[in-house]
């Protein structure tokens, strides 16, 4: 009984101390990129700052239009930031309306076609609802592109596989199934 009371008192003390912390927007940063990220977060509004705000779950600080611009940055040459932009797009997908998805969709689809392995590996950490949103966006782009003359589902697969240079056979098979599923599962 004494130990249970002591435990409850200790938990109460910890709870009271943690609840009195006024710094609700504190962000934990790694030692590797912390200083760079802190400087960006303290600086002017930019795509990089908006991306970090989204990644640090401070999405409410980024207006919806600014969120869309992140998808334009998927094609930067810096692979670290490219990965940050991709994860930010993944996080905002479910918050986009149909018009905004029509803007983000082509950028995400282009990224998928040209970086299928990175896209595929990034999907594994996502909740089901978020991955469904991405699947729908990719499916929408597949439908729109296959309605153009000369573009088929096989040509989309071939382009994707040609950009999957270091993919294993299993990854290629999974990406092929993802394309098939996106093509069948697209809904408006």
Per-residue pLDDT for 11 more than 50? no
CB of 47 closer than 8 Å to CB of 63: no
Greatest Cα pair distance in the chain: 78
What's the chain's average pLDDT?
A: 81
* pTM of the full structure: 0.78
Q: Angle at which helices 153-162 and 98-114 pack, to 10 degrees?
A: 50
pLDDT of the residue at 104: 92
pLDDT of the residue at 20: 40
Per-residue pLDDT for 18 more than 90? no
List of residues 6+ apart from 178 with CB closer than 8 A: 120, 135, 138
Per-residue pLDDT for 162 more than 80? yes
Burial of 9 by CB count in 10 Å (0-12 exposed, 13-18 middle, 19+ buried)? exposed
pLDDT of the residue at 128: 77
- Tens-place pLDDT, residues 122-137: 988 788 777 888 999 9
Q: How confident is the model at residue 98 (pLDDT cuts 50, 70, 90)?
A: confident
């Amino acid at each position: 009984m004494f130990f249970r009371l002591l435990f409850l008192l200790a938990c109460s003390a910890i709870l009271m101390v943690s609840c009195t912390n006024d710094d609700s927007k504190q962000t934990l940063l790694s030692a590797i990129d912390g200083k760079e990220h802190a400087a960006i977060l303290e600086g002017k509004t930019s795509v990089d700052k908006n991306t970090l705000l989204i990644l640090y779950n401070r999405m409410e600080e980024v207006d919806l239009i600014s969120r869309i611009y992140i998808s334009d940055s998927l094609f930067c040459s810096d692979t670290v930031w490219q990965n940050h932009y991709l994860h930010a797009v993944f996080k905002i997908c479910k918050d986009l309306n149909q018009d905004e998805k029509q803007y983000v969709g082509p950028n995400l689809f282009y990224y998928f076609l040209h970086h299928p392995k990175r896209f595929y590996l990034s999907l594994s950490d996502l909740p089901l609802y978020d991955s469904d949103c991405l699947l729908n966006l990719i499916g929408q782009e597949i439908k729109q592109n296959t309605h153009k003359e000369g573009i088929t589902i096989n040509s989309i697969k071939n382009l994707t596989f040609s950009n999957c240079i270091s993919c294993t056979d299993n990854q290629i098979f999974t990406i092929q199934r993802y394309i098939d599923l996106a093509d069948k599962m697209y809904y408006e």
